[in-house]
Amino acid sequence: LAVRNTLRRGRKSWVTVIGVFIGIAAVVSLVSIGQGLEFAIVEEFEALGADNIFVTGELDDRDVDIIRGVRGVEDAAAIYEETSDVEFQGEEASTNVRGVDLNRLELIFDGQGWSIEEGRELRSTDRTSTLTGPAFPDNYERAPSTGSQISVEGQSFRIAGQISAGDPQAQNSIVIGLDRAREIFDKDDEVSQIIVRTSPGFTQAETQENIEETLRR
């Protein structure tokens, strides 16, 4: 009966089939677009550091090592910060000096929302090179640029490049190696901030809880 009626009303049957096909295709397309957008948004948030946790307080290298062993932590990187007068061609300006773990620059750049605007990144062996924030040159009458020499606490550094800083505090800053920064400011193993990357499969909340519990112990 179904076959006979379908053949007898051929045009109407085909229109119905086409309508059903379009409906199914539309639903599948919308679901695919939704999943694609969700995946793209998650990727963007991860690129902005949405899978990162920031630990601050009275910290040292031992805390960094402890945090790296916490369940749910993929990696952790230390930053030491100090404010100092930075000299360029006889002019001095108060500047935020950030010492970073040069072996974990990718984690630090992702966590801070930094990227290289010009020049190059720091290398793990760099002791006399620095990166500057985008607002740093505005401190001086004759703006320093890539290749310029600046001085921090009497120690000379050559500007290797400039970062595009998402963090407002990093706009007027310079970035040097962690060990070099602590040498200059006579700090043995002090850490101002630890950036933590969460392992895949773990949420920030549960990783944060694990870190807090471990540090309390």
Q: Which residues contact 25 (CB under 8 A, 6 or more apart)?
A: none
* pLDDT at 8 exceeding the cut of 80: no
Tens digit of each residue's pLDDT (9 = 90 or more) over 68-82: 999 999 999 999 999
How many angstroms separate the Cα of 87 from the Cα of each of 121, 151, 177, 181, 183? 22, 5, 18, 16, 18
Confidence at residue 45, expressed as pLDDT on a 0 to 100 scale: 53
pLDDT: is 135 or 6 the higher one? 135
Tens digit of each residue's pLDDT (9 = 90 or more) over 111-142: 888 999 999 999 999 999 999 999 999 999 99
Find the mean pLDDT for residues 148-172.
Answer: 91
Tokens 């606490």 — which residue? Answer: 153
Rg (CA), the chain: 27
Find the mean pLDDT for residues 102-115.
Answer: 92
